[in-house]
Amino acid sequence: VPLAVAPLPESEDEGPAAVPGLHADALLAAVRAPLSAGLADDGRLTLGVSAAVHSAEGLRGALEEARHARRVAAARPGRVCAAGHHELASHVLLLPFVPDDVRRAFTARLLDPLRDYDRRHRAELIPTLEAFLDCDGSWTRCATRLHLHVNTLRYRVGRIEQLTGRDLSRLEDKLDFFLALRMS
């Protein structure tokens, strides 16, 4: 369901910035439970929300934006999913268009060695990698978040690099891991 958003009428003392737009997250929170209850067991509903437009001339573009956002939502798991215009200026826009076999091969190549190691040794390399990337590569913040000594974190990151042949000090490798985690 693509949604093109038109603004509420403005009052004399409020400008366009005072008009709230419809955000996909807020819409999803309001409709997820009742819509899920009404769907058949195999049913899905995906919503795409455009940015607000201020004139009828903008509706065509808003509808196209909402259609792109709906495709992003369709790639997500769950029975009722939504995506908004704010996600279209991000890598999130590209991920739904990656074929499933390419996605699986990419994530397997990067993450399977870590998953296998975690299974055999209970090393928690995948959660460590997620936290390291979430902390923008900050050793101190990541160690604090994981309740680890920084040397333990350095050991784990070194093990990740050794198992994958990647270097987490390189932006390209961080980006590849980030995308692999998002796609898995």
Q: State the Cα–Cα distance between residues 150 and 157, nearest whole angstrom.
A: 10
What integer pLDDT is reported at residue 93 of this predicted model?
Answer: 63
What integer pLDDT is reported at residue 124 of this predicted model?
Answer: 97
29-59 in b/e form (b: 16+ CB < 10 A) is: eeebeeeeeeeeeeeebbbbbbbbbeeeebe
What is the mean pLDDT of each successive set of 10 residues along the chain, which is 184 residues long? 49 43 70 70 80 84 86 82 78 72 93 97 97 96 97 97 97 94 86
Residues of the chain with CATH 1.10.10.2840: 98-183
Q: For 79-106, write each residue's pLDDT tens digit.
A: 888 888 877 766 766 776 778 899 899 9
For 98-183, the fitting CATH number among 1.10.10.2840, 1.20.1250.20, 1.10.1530.10, 3.30.70.920 is 1.10.10.2840
What integer pLDDT is reported at residue 136 of this predicted model?
Answer: 96
pTM over 0.85, yes/no: no
What integer pLDDT is reported at residue 88 of this predicted model?
Answer: 77
Q: For 150-166, write each residue's pLDDT tens digit.
A: 999 999 999 999 999 99
